[in-house]
Structure 1
């Protein structure tokens, strides 16, 4: 390996966004595509008031969330039978393969930092449209 092939530290300034399969727009962050990471991605998400994701899971990757502001409701489980509210200053863990559907039911934006053990942010996303109707609109 030459010195030019060796990984190096990088600063990422979120500016541009991309549309995720889940139905939200994410600020670009740490990922294989942006910095060449091999085992993690991290990005910023702001859910607008009334925003709701599509039911999905990350097939083989864990997710860790830190709420910066606002609050997010998340339904999770095989039939989205569990419900939690994650508020600013709290962290939330989602194991690999657990179906979930986050939403912002408030009238203010909700922002979070999201980290996954998948360096390709969208690669392990599996949409679960058959679960959509289990969570009230």
Structure 2
């Protein structure tokens, strides 16, 4: 347990848990075409020292623009809907996740989220390994016409 400064006890009332209500999320974060991204937790908003967290929503039958998040690792949790994720230098790979599933996006990986439904909104929770939003949009990336489906139905590299 941290002691604060030289044996001074930590004031957990002010240095402990911080709640952010859903209505307190902000759209004051870099945009990516086709995505409504909102920030809840960040260094500047909440004083987070290691994480950024928020949500995104993608309309039915829509796809985001290609982008990456620089040196940050990202976790995407599918709250509702079905997501197709394309990735690679030309978005040449694709896989699927449904409500309750996660995506792990390594640093610098070009990717694109796609709402697989023609009728339901895709709603996701996002967590990144840094305190501020890094979004590098890739408007000049030309994707392959037919990406290769990658079957990730069996857990891989898990211990």
> Does structure 1 residue 111 correspond to structure 2 residue 107?
no
Whole-Å separation in 1 of the counterparts to 2:97 and 2:91? 16
Where does residue 60 of structure 2 map in the other structure? 49
Unaligned runs of 5+ in 2: 146-159
C-alpha deviation, 1:105, in angstroms: 3.1
| Equivalenced residues, count | 132
Normalised by the length of structure 2, the TM-score is 0.73
Unaligned runs of 5+ in 1: none
Normalised by the length of structure 1, the TM-score is 0.84
1:65·1:114 contact (CA, 8 Å) conserved in 2?
A: yes
1:70·1:111 contact (CA, 8 Å) conserved in 2?
A: yes
1:73·1:104 contact (CA, 8 Å) conserved in 2?
A: yes
Where does residue 12 of structure 1 map in the other structure? 20
C-alpha deviation, 1:92, in angstroms: 0.8
CA RMSD of aligned residues (A): 2.2
C-alpha deviation, 1:135, in angstroms: 6.0
Q: Give the counterpart of 2:86 among 75, 95, 104.
A: 75
Q: Name which one, 1 or 2, has greater alpha-carbon Rg.
A: 2
| Deviation per residue, 1:37-56 (Å, 9 max, x gap) | 12111112222212321111
